[in-house]
Amino acid sequence: MNFSPVHFIAVPLFAAFLIPIVGRFSKEAVKLIPGLVLLYLSYVAISLYPIALQKPIVEIIAGFKPPFGISLYFGPLAAFLVTMVMLIGLVIWLYSYKFIIREPLEKYYMLFMLVIAGATGIMITGDIFNMFVFLEITSIAAYSLTAFLRDKDGAEAAFKYLLIGSFSSTFYLLAVMLIYANTGTLNIADIAAKMQTVPNQPKIFIMILFLVGFGIESELFPLNGWAPDAYSQAPSPIGGVFGGIVVKASTYAMMRFAFVLFNFHSMFELILVLGVITMLIAEMSAMRQQQIKRMLAFSSIGQMGLIMIAFGVGTDASVRAALFQVFNHAVIKTLLFLAAGYLVFHSGSKKISALDGLGHNKPITSFFFALGALAIIGLPPFSGFWSKLYILTSVAKGGFLASVVLILFSGIIEAIYYLRVVGRLYFKKDVSQDNVRRTPISGLVAMGILAVVILYVGLYPHQIIDLIKPAAHDLVDKAAYIKYGLLH
């Protein structure tokens, strides 16, 4: 069978379109369709992966060859990220299957499909304007998902998200306009080739716009004001969607542009500094949070800071480490959000103090949360350990010893607040009265898959490293990107 990267965009878009219609007839079908779609796409991703590893697949839409038409670029990096997105998506769908019981179901799944479509679109598109479209799709779907619970807080959070997000879109669009004005093309590879000729001043201008635009989405301080609210007010699986998919997509975009279009030394340094600041402030803020999901949100921001540091070092090894951390963070944070979702559900409150003793009552869910916590702190034998180790070694090799110390310092803070929660789960008297409701099997299976991935990667990190190596190379190697992107 002949698959094409187009499926990644087309199928979920189509599904999103289909879901409201099917919803008229059958609620079960609405629940099933996203699963089928994601399964299919996972299959596609896995079967395309070996091909992409050999040579990036460039798919041309509507018959115009690049740089004139819209093209999709499915290289090793895209393959890696898309596979990851599909995995996360699948797990979240499985989890949502029983978790999301509030109407309108079809809207939830429609928006979910849109996020998947948008995020994968960002990751595989080769066209800068096309990326804007996908960015908008993702963002708008994300706004709506934030407000899905339709309560006051959700609406407020969604509004904030919308407000800040619109800045992002505006700046991005501005940057696209400037690029087009300066280079006359919208194909990324083509731009990359022509960017040499652009004078420094507009180049910097564009770069700043990009940085701010994507910085907002990838939660860089001080652009990440939207994140804590959005994470904590959206339904729990959506927290996973944000942390594992949306943010990762814009991080990808930012990094792609940084490496392919600009490649300024000073830009990487700026990213590194911003990453350090983001990480520190987020971890410190997480320390005394009262709500578990808000705490996770800050932790998520902190992790993004860590990833940014690794990207900011800009060496091959550090990019590898960053991608590893991207993967680990997506998996672990999703697991944490999913587990937290049921913990909040069972305790009936978003407060951390309400979680006392839940470990006795809901042992498996709590266990998954604890596992996720240990993994994200970076303890062996979980996956988080290796990526943190890689980041540290690569950062140190890059010569940023101060950053190493700061990363470790924030690691200690992280350990403290996670262990406090875990301690509450297991070592306090059980206060909850919830003995009837159980975590459904689908939720447990979803978390179980992630836990197994964490453990597996923790014990056999080299397998994932083998995948990351070409992906990192794909990101760093500008010449190859131009070569393949322009179909030379």
Partner 1 sequence: MISIPVLLLLIFAAGLLAFIAHHTIPVLRDAIVIIAITIAGYIVWQLPGQTSNVNFSIGMFAINWGVTEYSQLFGLLIAVLSFFALIYSSAFMANKERLGYFYMNFMFSIGAMFGIVYSQDLISLFFFWEIMTWSSFMLTIYCCEEAQSVGLKYFIFSAIGAYSILTAIVIIYSGLGSLQLANIFANFGTMSIAAKLAVVILLITGFGVKSAMMPLHVWAPDAYKMSPAPYTAIFSGALSKMGIFGIGLVLFKLAAGQGFYPYVQEILAWIGALTALFSTFYAIFQTDAKKLLAYSSIGQLGYIITGLAIGTPLSITAALFLTIMHGIFKSMLFLSVGAVYYRTGTTNMNEVSGLIRKMPYTFFTALFGIITVAGIPPLGGFAGKWMLYESLIQSNHYFLVIVIFFASTAAFLYLYRFIFSMFLGQEEKETENVKEAPLRMIVPMLILAVSTLVFGVFPGLLLKPISGAMGYLGNFQHAWETSVLFNNWGSEIDLNTIVTSIGGVFIIAWILITVKGYRKNRYVTTKDIHTSGEVPTGNENLTYAIDFYKPFERALGSVLKPSVDKLYNYTGKLLEDSFEHLRYVYTGNGQTYAMYVMGFLLILFLFSELIFGVAL
Residues 181-220 touching partner 1, rule: CB under 8 A, are 200-201, 203-205, 207-208, 211-212, 215-216
Asked if 267 touches partner 1 (CB under 8 A), the answer is yes
Quick check: 416 binds partner 1 (CB under 8 A)?
A: yes
Stretch near partner 1 under the rule CB under 8 A, chosen from 142-150, 245-253, 415-423, 477-485: 415-423
Euclidean distance between CA atoms 336 and 321, whole angstroms: 21
Query: Comparing C-alpha atoms, which of 108, 174, 175, 167 is closest to residue 142?
Result: 108
Calculate the CA dihedral of residues 106, 225, 289, 357 and round it to 10 degrees. Answer: 20
178 lies in the binding site for partner 1 (CB under 8 A):
no
Instruction: Draw the binding track, 296-335, toward partner 1 (x: CB under 8 A; -: no contact).
Output: ---------------------x------------------
Site for partner 1 in 337-396 (CB under 8 A): 374, 379-381, 385-386, 389-390, 392-393, 395-396
**Site track for partner 1 across 7-46, x = CB under 8 A:** ----------------------------------------
State yes or no: residue 266 binds partner 1 (CB under 8 A).
yes
Q: To the nearest whole angstrom, how small is the minimum distance from the Cβ of residue 223 to partner 1?
A: 5
Kind and range of the H or E run holding 455: helix 441-459
Question: Letter for the amino acid at 406?
Answer: L
State which of positions 138-167 bind partner 1 (CB under 8 A).
156, 159-160, 163-164, 167
Q: In whole angstroms, what is the distance from residue 484 CA to residue 488 CA?
A: 6
CB of 405 vs partner 1, minimal distance in Å:
7
**Alpha-carbon span 357 to 369, nearest angstrom:** 13
* Integer Cα distance of 431 and 337 in angstroms: 22
CA distances from 67 to 71, 191, 259 (A): 8, 9, 19
Sign of CA dihedral 367, 372, 378, 382: positive
Cβ-based nearer residue to partner 1, 186 or 331? 331
**Least distance from C-beta 459 to partner 1, angstroms?**
9
Q: Which residues contact 333 (CB under 8 A, 6 or more apart)?
A: 239, 240, 243, 244, 296, 299, 300, 303, 372, 376
Q: Is 448 an interacting residue with respect to partner 1 (CB under 8 A)?
A: no
Q: What is residue 258's DSSP assignment?
A: I
Stretches 2-10, 69-77, 245-253, 283-291: which one binds partner 1 (CB under 8 A)? Answer: 283-291
Residue 171 touches partner 1, criterion: CB under 8 A: yes
Per rule CB under 8 A, is residue 473 in the interface with partner 1?
no
